[in-house]
Amino acid sequence: MAPAPTERELVSRLLDELGDAVRTDDEAREAARLDKSGWLAPGRPMAVVEATTIDEVQTTMRIASEFGIPVVPRGAGTGLAGGAIGSTGEIVLSVRGMRRVLEVNVADELAVVEPGILNAELNELLAESGLWWAPDPASKAISSVGGNISTNAGGILCAKYGVTREAVLGLSVVLADGRLVEVGHRSVKGVTGYDLTALMIGSEGTLGIIVGATLKLRPLPTGVVATIGAYFSDVVGAAAASAAITAAGLRPAALELLDAASLALLDRLLAGEPGHQPLSQRGSAYLLVQTDGSASEAEAREALAIIQAAGGDAELTTDPEEGERLLRVRRMAHPAFELAGQVLIEDVAVPRSQLPAMFAAIERISAESGIAIPTIAHAGDGNLHPNVIIPPDMPRSRDGEVPEQIWQVADRLFRAAMELGGTLTGEHGVGLLKRRWLIDELGLDGMELQRGIKAVFDPQGILNPGKVFGPMSLEPELEMASTRSGAE
């Protein structure tokens, strides 16, 4: 490895070879310090490369390898775990400008795309062909396909339609040293060698830079969409009803659950709307069910019966406008949380049958700590987002820092999920914010294997160091940005 260059030497070399693709202005560098978690890196990256071609990505990595300088791959910057944040001494390599759709193949139900295209943009385009790409994170209007792949994004529809890993056939990847490799297949099946495609999915920019993807598409669901909105007197009962729906073999497209603290914040947000009837008066938990496909109405009727038997106050509709009204309660949850101030969004997942127990644990932790934790859950797959609200008046060691007391609450949430057979992160990834717990879940031997794989792909340790695990060149001294958004 060459001796560490001054920033000026490196940036000058990037400018020489990449010209206008290299941004060194304050605005671009400042924007790359944060993502949608609300966290801000302690410093600014030295430059942001806005690549529009594979060749520019390769050139950047060749130069970075030569100088031994860390590179943070970045898409739309909508992550919730700090995985695409750049800081002092780093280059941020954005592929947001690589957004072409290179092929849509209807017969083979696949598309070949560049990583920067947004999920929703792609799906709008695919709809003409009667197809869609199923990964459905709540951020889909603003998050990129490459980012969805890098985090193995989940979302609302996973219980029925799977996670991102099940919707990608192959990838084009630029390695740390600038080489381009193709992994995976265009065919549905293929078992030639280890599954490097699955390995790349969810690797959060630590193994290589995804510069192209062959996506597995599905025909758009047929039939009407049926929607149920149901209020329950307590969240544990609502969670039990939700678990009973899946245990009955039903597979709704969406099965979403909000607790009492969420409904209270929604009432604060919606209070000003004409005719708003307080949600909190209708119940202490809200369960949203949507079914699609040829059997959607029959499935919805079965789900309704289960909900009513469990004491839910429910309405069922197949009218799109009415359905949208029932869905809106879920859609407005994140904006409502923002009203309460700064939030640490957790992302635990538990086996479905443990949802009631996890909700009970969250209630207990909230009561014991005195911290509000409004929680929404993708109940169909056991993935919960407890939103730990930081009281504005809580003392902090320095401005913008997450108080240790909040980390302690997060720690208790994570341990409760683990005790129920669950996991630290269902869909957001580890990034910077969750790495302190990684070893608790993976164990020492698991960590050793993971670090070994990292070293195979990135022997210099220049790809997104400090994220997930790896050389801890970045201390977790992160400031919480005052701006945050409701992406997930």
- Residue 248 or 394: the one with the smaller Cβ distance to a second copy is 248
Q: How far is the CB of 116 from a second copy (least distance, A)?
A: 21
| Residues 251 to 280 in contact with a second copy, rule: CB under 8 A | 251
Residue 436 lies near a second copy (rule: CB under 8 A):
no
CA distance 250 to 390: 38
Per DSSP, 118 falls in state B
Residue 430 lies near a second copy (rule: CB under 8 A):
yes
| Residues 332 to 351 in contact with a second copy, rule: CB under 8 A | 349-351
Q: Pick from 412, 469, 476, 479: which binds a second copy (CB under 8 A)?
A: 469
The interface mask with a second copy, positions 371-410, x = CB under 8 A, is -------x--xxx---------------------------
Q: How far is the CB of 218 from a second copy (least distance, A)?
A: 9
CA distance 163 to 383: 12
Q: What is the CA radius of gyration of the chain?
A: 23
Residue 193 lies near a second copy (rule: CB under 8 A):
yes
Residue pair 351/425 in contact (Cβ under 8 Å)? The answer is no
Pairing type for strands 91-94 and 71-74 reads parallel
Residue 427 lies near a second copy (rule: CB under 8 A):
yes
Residue 215 lies near a second copy (rule: CB under 8 A):
no
Of 45, 71, 76, 95, nearest to 464 by C-alpha is 71
* Distance spanning both ends of the chain, measured CA to CA: 39
- Residue 222 or 473: the one with the smaller Cβ distance to a second copy is 222
CA distance 417 to 381: 14
- Residue 101 or 295: the one with the smaller Cβ distance to a second copy is 295
Of 104, 101, 106, nearest to 144 by C-alpha is 101
Q: How far is the CB of 147 from a second copy (least distance, A)?
A: 13
Residue 209 lies near a second copy (rule: CB under 8 A):
no
| Residues 135 to 154 in contact with a second copy, rule: CB under 8 A | 151-152, 154
- Residue 130 or 341: the one with the smaller Cβ distance to a second copy is 130
Residue pair 205/245 in contact (Cβ under 8 Å)? The answer is no
Question: How large is the greatest C-alpha to C-alpha distance in the chain, in angstroms?
Answer: 70
| Residues 85 to 124 in contact with a second copy, rule: CB under 8 A | 105-110
Counting every residue, how long is the chain? Answer: 488
Give the residues across from 92 on adjacent strands: 48, 72
Q: How far is the CB of 474 from a second copy (least distance, A)?
A: 18
| Residues 47 to 86 in contact with a second copy, rule: CB under 8 A | none
DSSP three-state, residue 51: coil
Strand extents, DSSP E, 36-152: 39-40, 47-50, 71-74, 91-94, 101-105, 110-113, 131-132
Q: How far is the CB of 468 from a second copy (least distance, A)?
A: 7
- Residue 312 or 382: the one with the smaller Cβ distance to a second copy is 382
Query: How many residues belong to the site for a second copy (CB under 8 A)?
Result: 88
